[in-house]
Amino acid sequence: MEFATVLKWGHVAVWLIVVSLIVFVQLCLGAGRLWLAWTACGLRTFALLLNFLTGQNLNYREITHLVPVRFLGESVAAAKGVPNPWMLVGQLSLVVWLVFTIDAIITTWRRGDRERALAVGGSIVFFALVSSIQAPLVLWGIIQMPLSASLFFTGLVTVMGYELSSESVRASQLDRKLQESEAGLHEIEERMRLAVESADFGIWIRDLVQDEIWATDKWRALFGFSDTERLKLDKILERIHAEDQDKFRSVLEAARSEGSYEAEFRVVLPTGKVRWIGSHGRGEFDGTGKLILVRGVSHDITARRQAEEETQNSRREIAHIGRVSLMGQLASALAHEINQPLGAILRNAEAAELYLQNGSPDLEEIRAIFADIRKDGQRAGSVIDRMRALLKRQNLDKRLIDVSQIVGEVVVLVHSDVTARHVKFEVAVADRLPPVCGDAVHLQQVLLNLFGNAMDALDEAKTGDRRVSVTASLDGPQTIEIAVSDSGCGIPADKLQHIFDPFFTTKPKGMGMGLPISRTIIGAHGGRLWAENRPDGGASFRFTLPITEGSTAK
């Protein structure tokens, strides 16, 4: 009787184990069909009900006696009696459970998690199979051994325990990694922020799904938006310079069609200020290839663009100066050379015209005329070619030169002029100036030009004190500054900004080319030439020459 009761309550444990194993498989492997799980649980619950309602327990309708059975070398008691036919319900639940588990294993196996599928699933299947086969065999007296499902379950629990503990170890490892990566993420974020701040980048993201635009404060500042203003595409478009609107739109298109874009355009700030923006970014697409997000970086390139423009302007000016100064010398020769063949062509054509007006023109003569015209046309062309070859720009011949020597040589050159004009000439060149890299002849031309201007200024001023001074000294560690000053009446304020313009001159016979050419020469040496009025009267022209920098520039 007691044995029957133990067996009866034992089925509660079996129910618990089966249900919990189903839950375990479901959670641990994340696989298995739900309807199979529910069926197995339902059948097992039904079996538990039958366990209490029919016979002494699910296994025996009635236990008649206990017989000693040899099991694992020990003598244990095994029940003997009438088996309960409802036991099959229990076995059926085990079969369904088995099917559910195998199904879960297959899914897991296919997913690639083979080790776990074998360990968890395999053990469950093995024990479920063994226990569901052993019970009927024992009960119907086919084999002599005790009902020992619990023994098999012990093995199952061991496997589960192993699996669970390794899971928890893995979980804790993951947790640690997560913490580490979070710290790393924070670090990356900080670095990113630092980089963005120092690079003066503004970042923006346009979400096309939500139709929202998000941007950093820096970006807002670049485009002249306040920190709180809601950003809209049309509002941004309003800020784009009218001439760059089309370019900006095509950029939006490029992000859509090519996935990335790069562009430079101008924005007009509410204050009216124009700012050049360099921008590049990438689009993000959903599964169907629809653009859903665009991320971009913008930065202020105004300074660079201005520098580029200045370079271009000065290049243009240099080209112009080169052209006009050479033209001054060559224009006459060119016109003469060109007018010879042109004159011949003209006269020949005029003669041919007259011949043709004649009733019976001399075709032989006209043919000769045309041959001559062609020859002279070619001659005119070759004159142009020759001139073009002459006009090719000559490079500076840069060497290491001593500033004091250059100044000294030019002072000697102007000596007679200085004496004739009754000018007091003062030279103050600092001792031991480092050498500069430059073209001595060009630099001497600059000095000659400045000395000439200074002495002309004295003639115009007609003051009693006629002094011209030249000084050369270090201006910082990298630069030598040379100044040519006079005691004339200085440069009128309205002319000061024009004296370096080509063709601007205040002298009756001046070409207006001396100062612009001088400035070009100094610029080509990596220096700067400028003019100022001295506080005690007179003008001062100063230029700098780099000591090391520019010494390698060609």
Partner 1 sequence: MNETAPIVHVVDDDASFLTAISRLLRANGFSVKTYSSAHEFLAQREADTPGCVLADLRMPQMSGLDLQTALAQTPNPLPILFLTGHGDIPSTVRAMRDGAEDFLEKTAPKKKLLDAVTRALARDSREREARARRCELRARLDTLTEREFEVLAHVVRGQLNKQIAGDLGIHERTVKLHRTAITTKLKVQSVAELTRLTQEAGIFPGPVRTFPKGQ
Calculate ∠ Cα 172-177-180, nearest 5°: 130
Cβ–Cβ < 8 Å for 18, 91: no
Within residues 314-333, the interface with partner 1 by CB under 8 A covers 332
Residue of 90, 341, 488, 514 that binds partner 1 (CB under 8 A):
341
Task: Please state the closest distance from residue 371 (CB atom) to partner 1, in A.
Answer: 11
Residues pairing with 214 in the sheet: 205
Residue 126 to residue 363: CA distance in whole angstroms: 120
What three-state secondary structure class fits 223? helix
Residue partners of 80: CB distance under 8 A and separation at least 6: 63, 64, 65, 66, 67, 141
- Which residue from 347, 498, 507, 534 is in contact with partner 1, where contact means CB under 8 A? 347
Phi, psi of 528 (to 5 degrees): -140, 140
**Interface residue with partner 1, options 205, 268, 351, 427 (CB under 8 A):** 351
Give the C-alpha separation, 134 to 146, whole Å: 10
Using DSSP, state whether 476 is helix, strand or coil. Answer: coil
Q: CB under 8 Å to 271, separation ≥6 — which residues?
A: 224
- Give buried/exposed letters for 232-243 (b at 16+ CB in 10 A, else e): eeeebeebbbee
* Contact window for partner 1 (CB under 8 A) among 221-229, 232-240, 263-271, 346-354: 346-354
Based on the shown chain and the rule CB under 8 A, indicate whether residue 30 belongs to the binding site for partner 1: no
Candidate ranges 287-295, 344-352, 414-422, 434-442; the one touching partner 1 (CB under 8 A): 344-352
365 binds partner 1 (CB under 8 A): yes
Applying CB under 8 A, the span of 125-133, 258-266, 290-298, 338-346 interacting with partner 1 comes to 338-346
**Residue nearer to partner 1 on the CB measure, 235 or 336:** 336
Nearer to partner 1, 327 or 400 (CB): 327
Do the beta carbons of residue 66 and residue 2 sit within 8 Å? no
The smaller minimum CB distance to partner 1, of residues 347 and 421, is found at 347
- Identify which range of 47-55, 262-270, 369-377, 515-523 contacts partner 1 by CB under 8 A: 369-377
Which span (298-306, 374-382, 446-454, 468-476) binds partner 1, by CB under 8 A?
374-382
Question: Which window, 208-216, 334-342, 424-432, 440-448, contacts partner 1 (CB under 8 A)?
Answer: 334-342
336 binds partner 1 (CB under 8 A): yes
Least distance to partner 1, CB of residue 521, Å: 29
Nearest Cα neighbor of 541 from 480, 486, 479 is 486
Q: Is residue 19 part of the contact set for partner 1 (CB under 8 A)?
A: no
User: How far is it, in rounded angstroms, from Cα 81 to Cα 66?
Assistant: 9
| Nearer to partner 1 among residue 462 and residue 509 (C-beta) | 509
Of residues 376-405, which lie at the interface with partner 1 (CB under 8 A)? Answer: 376, 379
Does 335 sit near partner 1 (CB under 8 A)?
yes
- Shortest gap between Cβ of 509 and partner 1 (angstroms)? 14
Alpha-carbon 511 to chain mean position: 50
Q: Contact with partner 1 (CB under 8 A): which of 344, 401, 448, 496?
A: 344
Q: Which of 229, 253, 350, 465 binds partner 1 (CB under 8 A)?
A: 350
Radius of gyration of the chain (CA): 51
Edge-to-edge order in the sheet of strand 212-215: 212-215, 201-207, 291-300, 274-285, 260-268
| Interface ranges with partner 1 (CB under 8 A) | 332, 335-348, 350-351, 354-355, 365, 369, 372, 375-376, 379
